[in-house]
Amino acid sequence: MFLASKHCKNQSRTMISFSCSASPKLTSILALLLILVTMIQVNGQSPPGFISIDCGWENSSAYLNGALNIVYSSDVWFVEGGQNHQISPEFIEDAFNGQQKTLRSFPGGSRNCYTLPSTAGKKYLLRAMFTYGNYDRLNKTLDGSLFLFGLHIGVNFWEAVNLTNWDPSVTVFKEVLTVAPSNSVSFCLINFGSGIPFISSLELRPLQDTMYPFVNTSVSVSYFKRCRFGNITDPITRYPVDDYDRFWESCTFTSYPFINLNTNKNVGSLPGNNDFNVPSAILQQTSTLDTNYSRFSINVASAYNKDALSLQLLPIFHFTEINGSNPNRRFDIFSTGEVLFQGFSPSPLQVDSMYKSGQFLQKGDTFFTLDKTPGSSLPPLINAFEVYSLVQMENLTTDFNDVYNIKQIKTHYNLARTSWNGDPCWPREYSWEGLTCDYSKSNQNPRIVTLNLSTSGLGGRFAILLMNMMSLENFNLSNNKIDGPIPYYILQRVQAGLLDLRLEGNPVCSNNKDSYCIGKKKKKRRRNTTPILLIAVIVPVVLISLLVGMCILWKLYWKDKSGDNENYAMYEEETPLHIDIRRFTYTELKLITNNFHSIIGKGGFGIVYHGILENGDEVAVKVLMETSIAESTDFLPEVQTLSKVHHKNLVTLQGYCQNKKCLALVYDFMPRGNLQQLLRGGDVYCLNWEQRLHIALDAAQGLEYIHELCTPSIVHRDVKTPNILLNKNMVGIISDFGLSPAFNDAHTHISTVAAGTFGYLDPEYHASFKLTVKTDIYSYGIVLLEIITGQPPVLMDPQTIHLPNRVRQKIANGSIHDVVDKRLLDQYDAHSLQSGVDLAMNCVENAAINRPTMTEVVSRLKMCLPAVPEQLHLMVTGVPTISNEGNIQTGYSGTSEISILSGR
C-alpha cells in the first residue's frame, strides 16, 4: 500500500509516506512458491534450542513442518487445562500455516499459563500466534461485541489481543524479546471477560546474549513492526534465512518514485558487533527514491495500531550502501519533526544499525522521515527497520524455591485447581487460591506464608518438600486422609513455634492428642523462644512409634542441653591440627542460621540449615549427629583434609564447628538445589540435552579430582543425584564427599559397613566390602543413566527393576531412542546419546576391573559435547525423529490470500 500525503515540510519538494503491508497478489504467488519448496524438502532437523508448539495438536508425537524445516510438537507438556479445537473447515485450507489449524482455548480460570524450559539469564524471542477461524462457530470476532484478552510474560503485562471486528481467517502474531528469569519462561493468557482466550501456536527462539542490548531482566520489548525492503516476494521472511526466526515483513514498493536495488556481495557487520545479526540476505536489498525526490516517510501505525499513542516505542534502522560506485549519500532521520540522527551516511556493504539504546520515544511516535541533507547527491535509502514497544518487567516472581516446592506439592497431592497455574503469588489478583503470600519487602520476591489445603480430599503421606517451604507459617491440612508419619523436621518447626500446623480430621491423628491434631488453634509462639527443652522431651516421645532408631540418636545428641545452653560457646577445644578455614562457635552458628530456623535438607550425616554470614554470603550449615561419624575423633583430621580440597566442581568448605556440643560443617550454599530435584522436577523444569551433558561432565571432573589428584585418594562412597548440587550458573558441584576415612595408597580399604544408597550400590562392593574408587564409578554410571533417561535408579512400575536392566531391555528390544527422557522432545544429538549410554553401561559393569577410570569418563564425556563457540555453549544440535511422516504439515496453502497482521 502506498499513499501520497499532503503534509509537506517547507524545504521539501515532495514527500511520500506509506504504511507497510504485503500486496495480496504477490502473496498468493509466493504461497505457491512455498508449497513447491515444501514438496522438495522432506526431511530436516530443528535448529538448536528452538521450541515450537502447535497448540491444540492432539497427537503426542512431534511432526516436521517441511516448509520451515522445524519440528512442532503438541502443547500437552507445557500447559494444564484448556480445550482443544480445530478451526472451522472453511478456513482450514487457507490457514496461514499448519500450526494455525488447531488451537487451545481456555474457558476456565482467569489466567492460564504455558511454562517453557529455558536457560536462566538467556535472551529469547517468544512468539504467540492466534487464528480464531470461527472454531466455536459463534462468529465471535464479528458479532459486534468486544473480543479481547490479555497476555502476560512471566508476571508482567505484555499486550492485549484485540480481535474485535476482525475477519475470522486472520492470523495475529505477537512477539516479545525477553530474558529468562529462571530455568523456565512462563507465558499466560488472561481472561478479561470479553471472550474466551485461545492460542494457536507458540515459539521460543534463543537469541545471542549480545543481541538487543537494551533488553535485560527489567526491560523486555514487544514487536511493533519489523520490515525489510527491496524487491521481495515472501510476505514474511523468517527461518532459515534468519537464524533467530524473526518475522521480517516485506515492505516492497513497486511503483515510481521508489527504486529497489540489490547486490550479490556479502553485507556484514563490523567485527564484534553482534547487536542485531540482521541476515546478509536482507541487507543485500534496499529501497531508495528516484534522484528527483529527496525524502520519504514511514508510518508504522496501521489502522490496527490505534493505541500506539500510549506506547513507548524504540525504532532501529538498518542501513547499508549497496550502490557499488560509493556515492555521496547523506540524510537526516526525524521522528515526527524531531531529529533522531543527523547527517547519517551509510557505509558500503557494512550494516549500520541506528538506534538510541534504552531511549524509548515517549510520545508514541509512529511517523519517521528520512530526509536528504543539502550537500548530498543521492536521496535516502533503507534496508530494514524494527520498532519495539517497551514492556517493563517491574513485578517480581515468587521466590524460586517456593515456586519449585509448591509445584512439587501440587504434583505430590495431584492437585488439579484451576487457579494453581503460573506464578503462585503474582500478580496478586491471580495468586493461587488457598495460599497467601508475604509481599511486605517491596524489592524482594514474594514468599508463600500460608497454605490452606483443608477438606481437599488429599490422601497418602506428607509431601516431603514441605520441609523446604522455609517461609511457611500456617499450614492447614485438616479433614483430609493424610496418613503415615509426620516428618520430624516438620514437627520440629511446629514445636519451635515456627509453623502452625493443623491436621485434625486425618487418619494420622487417630491416636494423637497433640495440639495440631485436636484442632485447637495454637497460639503462635515468639520466634526467639529456644525450643530445646520441647525438642528434648516432647519430640522423642512423639517419634518413638515412628522413628525408633533416630530417637535414640536424637536423645544422645541433645541429652544435657536443657541446663547449660548458654555455655556452649565455652566448650571450644584446642586442636593440635592446623586448619586454615574458619572455626565457628556454637553461638555464631545459631546467629548465622537464625537459631536453626530454615532446614534445607537432610543428608545421611545430619540436618542441613540455611545460614547467612556476616558479609551476606549464603551458606549451608550441616549439623552432624555425633554418631553419624563412626568415630568423632576422626572429625578434625577429616576437616583438615576437606579444607585442602579445592576444585570448581566440589563444594567449598567454608568452616566448621567442633566442641562437645556441636559438630558442624559450613559449606557454600547452592541456590539451585540438587540434580535429583531438577531431573524429576515435573515436566516444567526440564534440563536440555546439553545442560545434562555439562552437569555430567562437571560431576565427573569433581570425582576425578578426589580420585586421582588427592593423596591419598578420597572415595566419595555416596555418589547419587541428590549429592550433585547446582550453583547459580547451573554448574554441577559434588557434595557430601570426604566424610569417610581417607584411603591408603593401595587404593583399597576394608570397611565393615556397606555405605551408599540403595540403587547406586556397587554389587562387587556389596559382596566383598572392598572399597575402591571403582565403587564411585559404578554409582556415577547410575547417575549418568538417570541424566539420560530422567528415571530414578530403581523403577517401581510395573514391577521393581534396576535402571541399568531397564536400559538394557530397551536397547535389546529396539532403538536406543526409547531410552532417552521423553521430556527432551527429541531435541538431542543421536551420536552423543549413543556415546553417553555406552559410557554409562560401561561404568555399571559388574566387575570393577572392567569399569573405566574417572579420567577416562571425563575424556569420553568431553567428546560427546559438541565443540561450539562460547556464546552457543548451551545449545544442542537437535536430530528429530519423525515417527509418522503422514503428520508432516505442508505449511502454506496454494491459492488464497494470506492475511497476517501484527495487529493491535
Give residues in contact with ligand NAG (CB under 6 A). 58-59, 61, 137-139, 148, 156-157, 162, 164-165, 214, 216-219, 231, 233, 259-261, 288, 292, 307, 323, 325, 327, 358, 377-378, 392, 394-395, 427-428, 883-884, 887
Of 68, 174, 78, 178, nearest in space to 127 by CA = 174
Query: Quick one: 114 or 656, whose CB is closer to ligand NAG?
Result: 114
Residue 219 CB, shortest distance to ligand NAG, in Å, is: 4
Give the count of alpha carbons within 13 A of 523, CB side only: 2
Query: Quick one: 240 or 324, whose CB is closer to ligand NAG?
Result: 324
Residue 250 CB, shortest distance to ligand NAG, in Å, is: 11
* DSSP H/E element including 225: strand 219-228
Which is it for strands 171-179 and 582-583: parallel, antiparallel or unpaired?
unpaired
Residue 328 CB, shortest distance to ligand NAG, in Å, is: 6
Q: What DSSP assignment string belongs to 456-478? A: S--EES--GGGGG-TT--EEE--
Q: Are 158 and 391 in contact (CB under 8 A)?
A: yes
b/e code 493-524 from CB counts within 10 Å (16+ = b) = bbbbbbbbbbbbbbebbeebebbbbeeeeeee
Residue 289 CB, shortest distance to ligand NAG, in Å, is: 9
Q: What DSSP assignment string belongs to 281-333? A: HHHTEEEEE-TT--EEEEE---TT-GGGGGS-EEEEEEE-B--TT---B-EEE
* DSSP H/E element including 762: none
Query: Quick one: 162 or 237, whose CB is closer to ligand NAG?
Result: 162
Residue 110 CB, shortest distance to ligand NAG, in Å, is: 14
Give helix 488-495 / helix 532-543 axis angle, nearest 10°. Answer: 140
- Cell numbers at residue 59, please? 497427537
Nearest-angstrom CA–CA distance, 426 and 156: 9
Query: Quick one: 217 or 342, whose CB is closer to ligand NAG?
Result: 217
Under DSSP, is residue 444 helix (H, G, I), strand (E, B) or coil? coil
Residue 569 CB, shortest distance to ligand NAG, in Å, is: 42
Q: Are 605 and 737 in contact (CB under 8 A)?
A: no
Nearest-angstrom CA–CA distance, 607 and 53: 43
Which is it for strands 70-74 and 16-18: parallel, antiparallel or unpaired?
unpaired
Q: Which residues pair with 130 in a beta bridge?
A: 172
The Cα angle at residue 273 between residues 270 and 274, in degrees rounded to 5: 130
Residue 400 CB, shortest distance to ligand NAG, in Å, is: 17
Nearest residue to ligand NAG, using CB? 884
The type of residue at 731 is: V
Residue 81 CB, shortest distance to ligand NAG, in Å, is: 20
Answer yes or no: 683 catalytic. Answer: no
The single residue of 234, 718, 821, 829 carrying the catalytic annotation is 718
Which positions ≥6 away from 389 have C-beta within 8 Å? 221, 222, 224, 311, 312, 313, 314, 360
Q: Where in the sequence numbering do the catalytic residues fall?
A: 718
